Structure 1
Amino acid sequence: MTKQFTHTTMDRRSSIVYSTSVGKGGLFTPADYIPSEIGNSALEEESDDAGEGTATRKGKALHGRPEEYQSLLDANNSRTLQREAEVNGTVTEHSSSTEDGTLSAASLPKKLIDEERDLLIDNHILQGRETLDTTSSAANNYGSTEPEVVVDTWEEALENGKIITTTYRREGEVLACNALPLIFTFILQNSLSLASIFSVSHLGTKELGGVTLGSMTANITGLAAIQGLCTCLDTLCSQAYGAKNYHVVGLFVQRCAVITMLAFLPIMYIWVQWSETILSWLVPEPELCRLAANYLKVAAFGVPGFVLFECGKRFLQCQGIFHASTIVLFVCAPLNALMNYFLVWDKRIGIGYLGAPLSVSINYWFMAIGLFVYTIFTKQAVKPLKCWNGVIKPHQVFRNWRKMINLALPGILMVETEFLGFEILTIFASHLGPSALGAQSIISTIASLAYQVPFSISVSTSTRVANFIGASLYQSCIKTCTLSLLLSFACSSMNMLIIFLFRKQIAGLFSTEPEVVDLVTSALPILAFMQIFDAFNASTAGCLRGQGRQKIGGFINMFAFYAIGIPMAVLLTFNFNLGVGGLWYGITCALIVMSVCQGYAVFHCDWNEIIDAAKSRNSETVRV
């Protein structure tokens, strides 16, 4: 994704670290829940253990003399910016900072300069590549290079109170271009579970119910919590990398991996030994419990690989390398589909039902190995190994681990909220019988797959809104949010038509059982109607993330889902005998409430307060 407006003057730095969760909510960013001084103090303490650089040691020697330390830090950062500008191909004709300490065009990426120039041209402040607005003093000093002219004109326009705003056409192009690759990435990651359900669904109704219950239990008790725990690295590693403490990044990643694995060893043991007994307390069908327990026993061996993949993904992302996990998924997702076919259906090597969890477990390890190979052999200008300082020492594993957990707990809470909600609905479906549970599995899979398009727009929106807030251009934020809703409505309308018109064909793809197909076909019109509000929910959630108001979205999410959605689902399913369709009526009611409340919060807010909060948050980060 493009990173517009992220490194101009210090006041205009973008404020967002967007979520990398694959959960539908995606409403968490740990940095917005935990005071930044926690992360900052952790960095200061870690530097001593990891073998800090010269500037850090001098900083400790200068403790008590903050002015001298700040001057040294500024000088070190200035030199580092210049070196990175040369490596990354940014403009290097001038020094990386001006006399007053603000960043100049020399330290800015060319894409950022182009973005600002295009917006200045759109607003008739800059008339072209060489002709400037006559009211700009930069026009009288055209001896400098074009990037310097763009930066000077931009800064002068803001100082003079000129309104710089975007256009609906430009925002449509940016949101669409940023969302398109994300759609493929999210679909590929979602396809891991989709392949298992698709392959097992043709074995029979009970097998489909077993893989549904098993995969949902694995998500709620393991994978979702792992994703939430690893979000602490989004804050810690990003702050360490931004502070040029590269060696600390590798230390944080290793510590998180070790702590996460140790934390989930008891859960893995429960999956292997006691899962059938515990599930039998909640689900009345013994055969479903047995099949789900067998799924968990095999899936447990893939958990360490999943932990390493999540930690490795964040190790690269904090360095600005976002495409590595996509490359790995482009290999592993098709491989997972092939392995599902051979391990489930092939007459020579197939093992039936257990082939599905075995395929997923193996591919979790392949995904981790793929990121490792990329890190070692990549030819990219940004060398990720500069953040690796060797294997963590035993005494470093549990140093400051409480601070890491404090950062991780909000992420775990927000990820688990929606996963737990769908697990509850799955348990409700199990009380309706194996066919209803199988139908619920298929409908959930279709809903998740359809959600990837609006969710991609949501992530693109959150980044764009945060960019504009970092640049103090809230008028442009309003246009971006409005256009995001329009794009989401267009995409959801297409999803709605496809699901409604081809509901029989879609149901037939997942199952050959007549009862299951009939249940899915009857419930898909409800799912089709739900697409409108699911997309609005995603879009407004993205706007709230961009505004840095994830807490509001989180509270709305929890209230709508647990106070309205689930109670309505129980009432309509069991009291009014609407069956599986009642579950989805309840979810639709929750999404309507979420869309209305989040939409109101987005467009009825104090934009100046949001911008001031972003400036304050960024000024705290700079002090790391």
Structure 2
Amino acid sequence: MSKQFVYTTDERRSSVIYSTSAGKGGLLIPQDYIPSSSRDTVIDELSDENIDVETGEGPGYESLLDANNSRTLQREAEQQSYGTLENEFMEASPISRRNSVSKRLVDEERDLLIDNKLLDEETHNNQGSSSSEEEQIFARAHENEDEVTEVLDTWETVLDSGKTISTTYKREIQVITYNALPLIFTFILQNSLSLASIFSVSHLGTKELGAVTLGSMTANIMGLAAIQGLCTCLDTLCSQAYGAKNYRLVGILVQRCAVITILAFLPVMYIWWSWSEFLLSAMIPEKELCYLASRYLRITALGVPGFILFECGKRFLQCQGIFHASTIVLFVCAPLNAIMNYLFVWDKRIGIGYLGAPLSVAINYWLMAFGLLLYTVSTNHETNPLKCWNGIIKKHQVFKNWRKMFNLALPGIIMVEAEFLGFEILTIFASHINTASLGAQSIVATVASFAYQVPFSISVCTSTRVANLVGASLYKSCIITCKVSLLLSFVCSSINMFIIFNFKRQIAALFSNEEEVKLLVVSALSILAIMELFDAFNASTAGCLRGQGRQKIGGYINLFAFYCIGIPMAYLLTFVFKMGINGLWTGITCALMMMSICQGYAVFHGDWEKILLAAKLRNSETAGHR
């Protein structure tokens, strides 16, 4: 099975919606830091549900046993050899084999076989020749099943015979571009939630713009980042429970995470309501900014439970292979958020000014949660997500195994908080210059975040493609993919650089009417335009490292470059050499330059034997859980 594209069959990496609300998007996806080898976690959860995994006693055990052929619940399964698992997979029925490998991955295998002239292209392009629509659907269903079987058999036969399968630059450009396009729209929609707030408030005045920046960044670092990190534990727990066909446990885990996260947030909500102005005043010299930011936090707090439910609900669906639901919800909520920002901030009849921005955010957090709920209960998706819902969780189940949940979530929390904290530090630096600099910093950060979505989408698709090629032991093709990713990133960064540099005055005018702020933004955007080149290379190389299974190397590089080079240099340039916010972005540009160089070296100078061996071990472990 190492010869199949099964290294990343769940496509989780390409479905993550991860972006800060006021800063640049995530450098690395925090879910990648959650250990995948946590079989014992599922066994512990099954034990919590009164199922004895050793004796087989307890309600629901027999159905689980049948569903998993005694593998995921019996200790003896650990002793099964990888070769035996591969043989069983090859001897399985075509339907079972088709279900164990996603259709998208089979299509990629088929295309590579066609490129290498190992399959006849015409044979796979004759769908839809039936006269009626019903006949076409029926024919396609049988053709697809036969096609999957043929592709899997051919793929195994070719590689077992020692023949070489290689990709081309054209093929990799097509695959990455095709997969990245929907992600670009998804990430931009997510990013537009914060963009609408910044855009609507920026025209009220410099203080309001600075306050919304300070408030949103504080909300990120104290609440939203920890929530996102905590919910990442569901990527492991729910996926494994669903893979074990313990559907009831999936619903319990999601509800448990939601309840614990909401309870954990209650003290934070109290701080936002009662102590936020005092705490901000200890770091920010402008008292009025602190007052306005504290009011932003109070209103935003009302929507955070909805945000928690959205994050948990998103993972509830993703573990079942439903990745598009959150995108559909955002296609509705993102425009609604923009409309609400205009109505609540500027409309003469119902507008309430500055506070309209956090109000629209809070409302949309709840709308996003209800949108996922509506999708879940009304969808006719073949997966039927409601099979994982067996009613409201019982009181005695809420706090079972919560320590295990936190242990899995801790790496995600650390990585998300690390980047949020970094941009919070930059915001604090800007606030110590003057109010206009803080407002300009928020505008430049928003532009940087928006521009980052395209290379970040390429990065996510690169990680999936590289992982699949590594899992198939095609490391030479993997090198081609990495080079193509860098090429596409260069193209995107060049376009971003051209737009930002040539339209910097127009961009500044879109966000502010005050000349001092616009001049600062125009000056900083010139530096940002240069930064785009290294930002895209950083995203691309990080995606390559994730695909190789070496994401921790990228994490260490990012933390070192950001906290040992970027932030210290930003402080020196800003306050010692008096460069203002230009110093902030010059420091970050130097950090990104270091990240790109170090990560690029790591990508193309890695030990491929170790990388392929690690992939085989992951594949054998995945097979053991099927």
TM-score, with structure 1 as normaliser: 0.88
Partner of 1:91: none
Shift of 1:199: 0.6
Equivalent residues in 2 for 1:99-498, closer than 5 Å = 104=97, 110-128=103-121, 147-498=148-499
Structure 1 residue runs of 5 or longer lacking an equivalent are: 1-5, 72-76, 79-94, 132-143
Give secondary structure in 2 for the equivalent of 1:29.
Answer: helix
Cα gap change, 1:33 to 1:213, in 2 (>3 Å): same
User: Aligned residue pairs: how many?
Assistant: 586
Q: Any conservation in 1 of the 2:17–2:187 contact (CA below 8 Å)?
A: no
Q: Is the 8 A contact 2:3 2:156 kept in 1?
A: no
Q: Displacement, 1:614?
A: 2.0
Equivalent residues of 2:2, 2:473 under 8 A apart = no
Q: Distance in 1 between matches of 2:231 and 2:31?
A: 12
User: In 1, are the aligned partners of 2:496 and 2:532 still within 8 Å (CA)?
Assistant: yes
CA drift at 1:118: 2.2
Q: Give the Cα separation in 2 of the matches to 1:100 and 1:179.
A: 33
Q: Secondary structure at the match of 1:597?
A: helix
Give the counterpart letter for 1:311 in structure 2: C
Q: Deviations over 1:19-40 (max 9, x none)?
A: 5432421243356546424433
Q: Secondary structure at the match of 1:363?
A: helix
Contact 2:573 2:587 in 1 (8 A): yes
1:573 paired residue number: 574
Offset, 1:466: 1.1
Which range is displaced more, 572-581 or 606-615?
A: 606-615
After TM superposition, give the deviation of residue 45 of structure 1 in Å: 2.4
Indicate which of 18, 21, 26 corresponds to 1:21: 18
Match of 1:52 in 2: 60
How many angstroms apart in 2 are the aligned matches of 1:360 and 1:7? 45
Note if contact 1:47-1:245 (Cα within 8 Å) is conserved in structure 2.
no
Change (3 A) 1:374 1:525: same
Instruction: Specify the code of the residue in structure 2 equivalent to 1:618.
Output: N
Shift of 1:564: 0.1
Query: What secondary structure is seen at the aligned counterpart in 1 of 2:204?
Result: coil
CA contact (8 A) 2:234 2:315 kept: yes
Query: Residues 110 and 570 from structure 1, CA distance in 2 versus in 1: closer, same or farther, beyond 3 angstroms?
Result: closer
Structure 1 residue 508 corresponds to structure 2 residue 506: no
Residue identity in the other structure for 2:166:
T
Using the TM superposition, give the Cα deviation of residue 448 of structure 1 relative to its aligned residue in structure 2, in angstroms. Answer: 0.2
The CA RMSD over aligned residues, in Å, is 2.9
Tell me by how many angstroms 1:287 deviates.
Answer: 0.5
State the 1:358 CA deviation. 0.5
**Closer, same or farther in 2 for the Cα pair 1:393/1:591, shift >3 Å?**
same
Which amino acid letter does the alignment assign opposite residue 18 of structure 2? Answer: S
- Aligned-partner SS, 2:509: helix
Is 1:554 aligned to 2:555, yes or no? yes
Aligned partner of 2:591 in structure 1 is 590
Tell me: CA distance 1:319–1:341, structure 2 relative to 1, closer, same or farther (3 Å). same
The aligned amino acid for 1:56 is L
Residue 401 of structure 1: how far off its partner (Å)? 0.5
Contact 1:566/1:586, CA 8 A, preserved across alignment:
yes
Could you tell me which amino acid in structure 2 is paired with residue 381 of structure 1? E
CA contact (8 A) 1:466 1:546 kept: yes
| Conservation of the 8 A alpha-carbon contact between 1:14 and 1:466 | no
Is the CA contact (8 Å cut-off) linking 2:27 and 2:539 kept in structure 1?
yes
Question: Offset at 1:109?
Answer: 5.2
Quote the Cα distance in structure 1 between the aligned partners of 2:403 and 2:232: 15
More displaced stretch, 357-366 vs 238-247: 238-247
Following the alignment from structure 1 to structure 2, what is the Cα–Cα distance between the partners of residues 364 and 151? 43
Q: 2: CA distance between counterparts of 1:564 and 1:65?
A: 50
Alignment gaps of 5+ in structure 2: 20-24, 52-57, 125-144
Q: Deviations over 1:46-70 (max 9, x none)?
A: 4537953524367999999755999
Indicate how the Cα distance of structure 1 residues 578 and 319 shifts in structure 2: closer, same or farther if over 3 A, else same.
same
Cα deviation 1:350-381 (Å, max 9, x = unaligned): 11111100110000000000000000000111
Query: How many Å separate the matches in 2 of 1:61 and 1:603?
Result: 42
CA contact (8 A) 1:166 1:479 kept: yes
AA aligned opposite 2:506: Q
Local SS of the residue matching 2:303: helix
Aligned sequence identity (%): 65
User: Relative to structure 1, is the Cα distance of residues 363 and 149 closer, same or farther in structure 2, using a 3 angstrom cutoff?
Assistant: closer
> What does the per-residue CA deviation read over 1:573-607, in whole Å, with 9 as the maximum and x for residues that have no partner?
01111001000000000000000011111111122
Compute the displacement of 1:320 (Å). 1.0
Shift of 1:619: 2.7
Shift of 1:613: 1.1
Distance 1:500 1:64 in 2: 59
CA–CA separation in structure 2 for the residues paired with 1:102 and 1:471: 21
The 3-state SS of whatever aligns with 1:121 is helix
Contact 2:166 2:476 in 1 (8 A): yes
- Structure 1 residue 158, shift from structure 2 partner: 1.2
Name the CA distance, whole Å, in 2 between partners of 1:392 and 1:577. 57
Q: Distance in 2 between matches of 1:442 and 1:106?
A: 47
Gap change, CA 1:490 and 1:448, over 3 Å in 2:
same
Q: State the partner residue of 2:41.
A: 39
Alignment-mate amino acid for residue 248 of structure 1? L
Q: Which moved further from structure 2: 492-501 or 101-110?
A: 101-110
What displacement does 1:44 show? Answer: 3.2
* Aligned-partner Cα distance in 1 for 2:268–2:527: 36
TM-score by length of 2: 0.88
* CA drift at 1:547: 1.1
- Measured against aligned partners, the alpha-carbon deviations of 1:87-135 in whole angstroms (never above 9, x if no partner) come to xxxxxxxx9861699964586555444432321221233354569xxxx
Whether contact under 8 Å (1:167, 1:479) holds in the other structure is yes
Separation (CA, whole Å) in 2 of partners of 1:470 and 1:70? 22
Report the Cα distance in structure 1 between the residues aligned to 2:121 and 2:334, rounded to whole angstroms. 46
CA distance in 2, matches of 1:289, 1:318: 41
Structure 2 CA distance for aligned equivalents of residues 583 and 562 of structure 1: 13
